Amino acid sequence: MRIRTTLVHLVFIVYSFFYVIPLIWMFYSSFKDNGKIFDSPFSLPENWNFAVFIEAWESGGLGKYILNSAVVTSLATATVLLVSSLAAFALSRYQFALKRHSLAIFVLGLFLPIQAYFIAQNELFEFFGLKDSRFTLVLPYTGLGIPLATWLLKAYLDSLPKELFEAARVDGSSDFGMYKIIALPLLKPGLATVAIFTALGSWNEFLLANIYVQTDDYKTIPAGLLAFSSKYVTDYQLLFAALTVITIPMIIVYIVFNKQVVAGLTEGSLK
């Protein structure tokens, strides 16, 4: 049994290298100029000059892009948490007409790629004048995050004993009272998982950010990084430095909430 466990751990360690090594390569490549990156991509840099990160921050205008991404990500994540937790509570604890149809809509949201409805969404945004503002991306990011979030939270609520809610009902608690007093505190691990997934997706999304926002002052990080590329050349040193700067916050967030994420993914599957 111990040998089997050791082998499993070794497999996961090797598998993790496929994700960690590119990040390490990106970090030390930010200390090499374009010629060294192409001539000797896997060699260590000769000069570890951390001023390159300051240069990338100033020349690329990372401050405003990070602010825009923070605003969009925070609003989208908060909205997803509120809407999906309410929807999951209703779908898990109540029987009502069209419940199966409602579940089917969330399933459809899980399977449909964004390319399937992008044209229609773009037409709606054009018609209602929703493009080119700091809040343009909040609506589509919220819509993309709600289906998965609702299913994760519903699975977690389904694993809770019904007696908890029945006892609260006997004590005179209202529907919103049960949601606030019982469901929300017990949903903390699931909410942490949803928050991480939604934040990562919103922080890194490029297609919608590049198409819906054209004003430079409102662009988020993925679209803003195009500033390091011109028609004929790309400054990879500054680009890698900028990528390192914007990747660190998400890594820190994941490390801080790692236990909650694991708990949210595992506890909801147990009854």
- Establish if 47 belongs to a structural domain: no
Task: Please state, in angstroms and rounded to a whole number, the distance separating the CA atoms of residues 148 and 145.
Answer: 6
- Establish if 14 belongs to a structural domain: no
Specify the pLDDT at position 84: 92
For residue 260, CA distances in Å to 79, 203, 206, 257, 266 come to: 20, 20, 27, 5, 10
pTM of the model: 0.81
For residues 152 and 264, the answer to whether their CB atoms sit within 8 Å is yes
126: Cα separation from own chain's centroid: 26
Query: Does the pLDDT at position 232 exceed 80?
Result: no
Looking up residue 110, the CATH number of its domain turns out to be 1.10.3720.10
Domain residues for 202?
Answer: 62-220+248-267
Per-residue pLDDT of 73-100, as tens digits, reads 999 999 999 999 999 888 888 787 788 8
Cβ burial, residue 263 (10 Å; 0-12/13-18/19+): middle
Specify the pLDDT at position 266: 59
Q: Which residue has the tokens 């908890």?
A: 164
- Establish if 17 belongs to a structural domain: no
Cβ burial, residue 198 (10 Å; 0-12/13-18/19+): buried
256: Cα separation from own chain's centroid: 15
Question: Which residues does 19 contact at the CB level (< 8 Å), separation at least 6?
Answer: none
- Establish if 3 belongs to a structural domain: no
